[in-house]
Amino acid sequence: MLDTISLYSLEVYWWFIVSLLGGLFVFMSFVQGGQTLLYTLGKNEDERDLIINSLGRKWELSFTSLVMFGGAIFAAFPLFYAVSFGGAYFVWMAILFCFIIQAVAYEYRKKPNNFFGQRFYEILLFINGSLGIFLIGVALATLYTGGNFIVNEMNLSHWTKASYGLEALLSPFNIAFGLMLVFLSRMLGTLYFFNNFEEEDMELRLLQVLKNNMFVFLPLFLFVVGMMFFQNAYNYDETTKIVNVESMKILHNFLSSPLLFLSLTVGVLSLLYGLYRALVNEKKDAIWYVGTGTVLTVTSLLFVLGINHTVFYPSLADLQSSLTIENSSGSHYTLSIMCFVSLLVPVVFGYIFMAWRSMDKTKMTIDEVKNDPHHY
């Protein structure tokens, strides 16, 4: 049956899967955001233990979503994986390091007589939550600003800068994108705690921290989205595959796809409504509105790069080496077989939902953590 589906349709389908996984990872980054708030919210050892153990139940989910995101890119768009992960080597190795130390920190923070001490591992968690998410944001931003790579006729690529991706830190847009994700993750972390804790002493503190981070996030979000809409982007000719510059290409893509524009609009409104619901009505379910809005918004902003003959990874060294979903994807056979694998994704998400629901049947308290002999 899949033999009758065109290669381009399969490429669009898999770009949607990649975009959706990217959106889900950004939502799951509430774990990293929460880690950066350890000393902002936790005023004593008991409160910090509560924060760490609340996140400790979920940190593997955020790591898994990142692995799934990278795995989907590797399987569906191998040339993109090779160019980005192999070319922007220093950036991705730094990201990998930030997530390795997260696992180490959760494992050893409360080990008796550990050599470095508890505070050292808490610093590692802060690095993972701040630098790790910032660098992922910078890496994602290069989908809009481009990278310094060249792809030859044999589909072999090489990076043209000795900094191997670190030059992306010189772009104001990339910096703003990275910071935007950091403060979004901090908001999500705060809302997660607000929903997960049963500690009245921390509730007003949580809402104040949420408000402070919101005032930083919103201007960054407006700047990033405004730049996306109004800066030049790149398209390619359907027949010749020649890449050209197009003014306001991203905005044109949204306007030409009402369903995608609706998804973005609903996502932004859901995010804003969730913040209103938390700050004004003090409703603990606000995390689900903000989380849904985050997934819809990020998915829409990534997916828009794969439609309407758009370049999703411009080359700053050679414009004609730029990557599209057509020139970077796997074969028809590979994408077809993987469609069957993708049917398992809802099963995985269903398992995550059931596990999450089981863990969160009751709200966490300081007394519960104290009485748990296996806490982080």
What are 96-145's pLDDT values in tens digits?
999 999 989 988 888 877 788 889 999 999 999 999 999 999 999 999 99
- Cβ contact 190:37 at 8 Å: yes
Q: Output 308 or 60, whichever has higher pLDDT.
A: 308
Given this model, what pLDDT does residue 351 score?
75
d(CA 140, CA 165): 12
Given this model, what pLDDT does residue 149 score?
94
**Paired tokens of 283:** 């409703």
238 pLDDT more than 70? yes
Q: Give the mean model confidence (pLDDT) for residues 172-200.
A: 94
- Cβ contact 51:42 at 8 Å: yes
Average pLDDT across the chain, whole number: 90
Q: Give the mean model confidence (pLDDT) for residues 45-68.
A: 86
- Pick the range with the lowest mean pLDDT from 51-60, 70-79, 309-318: 51-60
Half-sphere exposure of 194 (CA within 13 A, CB side): 30
Beta bridge partners of 161: none
Q: Give the mean model confidence (pLDDT) for residues 230-246.
A: 92
77 pLDDT more than 60? yes
Q: Going by C-beta distance under 8 Å and a sequence separation of 6 or more, which residues neighbour residue 296?
A: 23, 263, 264, 266, 267, 270
Q: Tens of pLDDT along 249-286?
A: 999 999 999 999 999 999 999 999 999 999 999 999 99
Q: Tens of pLDDT along 254-263?
A: 999 999 999 9
- Cβ contact 181:134 at 8 Å: yes
Using DSSP's 3-state secondary structure scheme, residue 265 falls into helix
Q: Tens of pLDDT along 18-32?
A: 999 999 999 999 999
Maximum average pLDDT range among 105-114, 161-170, 337-346: 161-170
d(CA 315, CA 317): 5
- Cβ contact 148:84 at 8 Å: no
Q: Give the mean model confidence (pLDDT) for residues 297-301.
A: 97
- Pick the range with the lowest mean pLDDT from 37-41, 251-255, 372-376: 372-376
Q: Output 248 or 115, whichever has higher pLDDT.
A: 248
Given this model, what pLDDT does residue 2 score?
57
**Cβ atoms within 10 Å, residue 125:** 25
Given this model, what pLDDT does residue 56 score?
85
Given this model, what pLDDT does residue 4 score?
65
289 pLDDT more than 80? yes
d(CA 149, CA 342): 30
Given this model, what pLDDT does residue 46 score?
87
Given this model, what pLDDT does residue 233 score?
92
Q: Going by C-beta distance under 8 Å and a sequence separation of 6 or more, which residues neighbour residue 240?
A: none
355 pLDDT more than 80? no
Q: Which of 354, 341, 318 is CA-nearest to residue 83?
A: 318
Using DSSP's 3-state secondary structure scheme, residue 147 falls into strand
Q: Going by C-beta distance under 8 Å and a sequence separation of 6 or more, which residues neighbour residue 59?
A: 31, 102, 106
**Phi, psi dihedral angles at 9 (to 5 degrees):** -65, -40
- Integer Rg of the chain from CA: 21
Given this model, what pLDDT does residue 1 score?
53
Given this model, what pLDDT does residue 3 score?
61
